[in-house]
Amino acid sequence: MIVTVVGDVLLDVDLDGRTTKLSPDAPVPVVGVTHRRARAGGAGLVAAMLAGDGDGGGGGGRGDGGVRGYGSGDGGGHRGGLRVELVTALGDDEGAGELRSLLEERAGIRLVAGPSGAPTPVKTRVRTDGHAVARLDEGCDPPPAPVVTEQMLSAVAAAEVIVVADYGRGLTAVPALREALARRAAVVPVIWDPHPAGTEPVPGTAVVTPNLSEALALSGASGRGIAGAARAASALAGSWGAQTVVVTLGHEGALLHRAGSGPLVVPAPRVETLDPCGAGDRFAATLARSLGERLPLPDAVQRAIDEAAAFLGAGGVAGLRAATDPEERAESAVLVGGGREAVAVAARVRAAGGTVVATGGCFDLLHAGHARTLAAARALGDCLIVCLNSDDSVRRLKGADRPIMSQDDRVALLSALECVDAVLVFDEDTPEQAIRRLEPELWVKGGDYVAAALPETAVLAEWGGQTVTVPYHPGRSTTRLASALAKVG
């Protein structure tokens, strides 16, 4: 699957440091910089997120009710087959050179860039002890109209999914590019993340994803919360000719408006964050990937909300690495979903002096035996993280007709259990690499296993962890449950 991101790119720089004194010439803190970290921002951040998704595997979904057929059918699609292209405008200054390195060499993105004729916008955030104290903007004045090349138009014409990340710098206003996007919107899903200073989506756009303040400003509607979002979404859908408008509402989730149906509110998990920067980009990236995998639209929106919340829970943009070396990239590739959130949960519990407990399995057709084992495992510590075999992993272990339930459904059921704090999906046949990322104090299995015979036991021993078993509940198994269901048709 080729996902093409179209939009404005900027360079984000984080300067991390410590503050121990005030300046002698002014009552301002002196920040001793200890680390500089650069990353692509704007459309570049969306592309980098998608490229990171492509390092995993598995995924997909089934069902109907998608956007003009984009979310219908038998589903499927593997993130491991994801190709990411970025259509943008870039200058030839130092910032542009750093962006090219970040995007092409480190993230593996195919960059299709025309000349911008303007300095690269650079936004530098100064953080001390984890808190932002200042932001410095350079080169952010309105640029001249960028030049759109034939190569850029060809990339749009070949796209299988398009994400437009409009940051108001004029690229999406170029007539030739708008015409190309409009033609492609009749064939493939186009997801458009608008900007108050940008241009309106092309007619036929599959999904437009403003946040609430953007939706109210762009529509002229009044109100707040869900009621305001509903009025704004309805107005925007009519004026833009978009199939669907999804207004993101922060901790309230999102409101989905489609012509001919009432508003649908999709909830969000609660997360605590001091910096929501990047959540909208994560939402748009996941939504595009999910629609490309033919997931039904409401399920795609729910997945996008969940991944945006997990992104914020893991530290948001401050938790992103500018690059990963090949060895680190190979190790993290086993974490198909929920990796950052699960690792963050483990880190928080460990920092507070608590005990991290983990368990693993396929959990295909969740039954009472599973629930009792999970509850018993949670009682042994201060958090429980479930390492879940991906769909591909289950298929290799159990056969071509398994899993019965997709990994997204299995994650949803496990996450709904009060005893489960996080779910981490891995693509290996066994969870050793996932366990190494978590470093739990306890690894728990049902009593039908012999701890000494489990390969996980040797892994836990690397940091002094322990494998333990909890009572097994005979007579409960996925195989028996599947057989019983088959008999009743």
- Chain centroid offset of residue 354 CA: 28
Mean predicted confidence (pLDDT) in 59-78 = 36
C-alpha distance from residue 245 to each of 12, 89, 204, 415, 481 (Å) = 28, 27, 12, 28, 41
Choice between 81 and 47, residue whose per-residue pLDDT is larger? 47
Query: In the predicted model, is pLDDT for residue 288 greater than 80?
Result: yes
Burial of 210 (C-beta count, 10 Å sphere; 0-12/13-18/19+): buried
Across 5-14, 20-29, 68-77, 464-473, the highest mean pLDDT is recorded for 5-14
Across 59-68, 79-88, 414-423, the highest mean pLDDT is recorded for 414-423
Over the stretch 434-448, which tens digit does the pLDDT of each residue have? 999 899 999 998 766
Choice between 480 and 400, residue whose per-residue pLDDT is larger? 400
Over the stretch 89-104, which tens digit does the pLDDT of each residue have? 999 999 999 999 999 8
Over the stretch 187-242, which tens digit does the pLDDT of each residue have? 999 999 999 999 999 999 999 999 999 999 999 998 888 889 999 999 999 999 99
For residues 127 and 51, give the distance between their C-alpha atoms in angstroms, rounded to a whole number: 27
Q: What are phi and psi of 295, to 5 degrees?
A: -75, 140
Q: For the chain, count helices (H), then strands (E).
A: 16, 19
pLDDT of the residue at 192: 97
Tell whether pTM > 0.95: no
pLDDT of the residue at 350: 86
pLDDT of the residue at 224: 81
Query: In the predicted model, is pLDDT for residue 86 greater than 70?
Result: yes
- Chain centroid offset of residue 286 CA: 5
CB within 8 Å of 389: residues ≥ 6 apart: 360, 361, 362, 397, 407, 425, 426, 431
In the block, residue with structure tokens 């292209």: 85
Query: In the predicted model, is pLDDT for residue 266 greater than 70?
Result: yes
Over the stretch 147-167, which tens digit does the pLDDT of each residue have? 999 999 999 999 999 999 999
Domain 340-486 is of which CATH architecture? 3-Layer(aba) Sandwich (3.40)
> What type of residue sits at position 227?
A
Residue 340: name the closest of 422, 283, 451 by CA: 422
Catalytic residues, which ones? Answer: 281
- pLDDT mean across residues, the chain: 83
Half-sphere exposure for 15 (CA within 13 Å, toward CB):
15
Domain ranges (residues) in the chain: 2-16+35-53+81-318, 340-486
Half-sphere exposure for 48 (CA within 13 Å, toward CB):
29
Q: Do residues 126 and 136 lie in contact, with contact meaning Cβ atoms separated by under 8 Å?
A: yes
Strand partners, 137: 123
For residues 43 and 53, give the distance between their C-alpha atoms in angstroms, rounded to a whole number: 15
In this structure, what token pair is assigned to residue 476?
A: 């409960």
Question: Which of 187-196, 300-309, 347-356, 476-485 has the lowest average pLDDT?
Answer: 476-485
- Kindly report the CATH number that applies to the domain delimited by 2-16+35-53+81-318: 3.40.1190.20
pLDDT of the residue at 339: 63
For residues 479 and 484, give the distance between their C-alpha atoms in angstroms, rounded to a whole number: 9
C-alpha distance from residue 283 to each of 20, 62, 101, 279, 300 (Å) = 37, 20, 25, 6, 10
In this structure, what token pair is assigned to residue 447?
A: 């009593």
For residues 242 and 407, give the distance between their C-alpha atoms in angstroms, rounded to a whole number: 31
Residue 210: name the closest of 240, 184, 185, 187 by CA: 240
Query: In the predicted model, is pLDDT for residue 146 greater than 80?
Result: yes
Question: Which of 22-26, 397-401, 434-438 has the lowest average pLDDT?
Answer: 397-401
pLDDT of the residue at 479: 54
Rg (CA), the chain: 24
Write the DSSP symbol of residue 202. Answer: P
In the block, residue with structure tokens 């989730």: 253
Peptide bond into 403 cis (omega under 30): yes
Residue 98: name the closest of 221, 12, 14 by CA: 12
Write the DSSP symbol of residue 453. Answer: G
Choice between 439 and 474, residue whose per-residue pLDDT is larger? 439
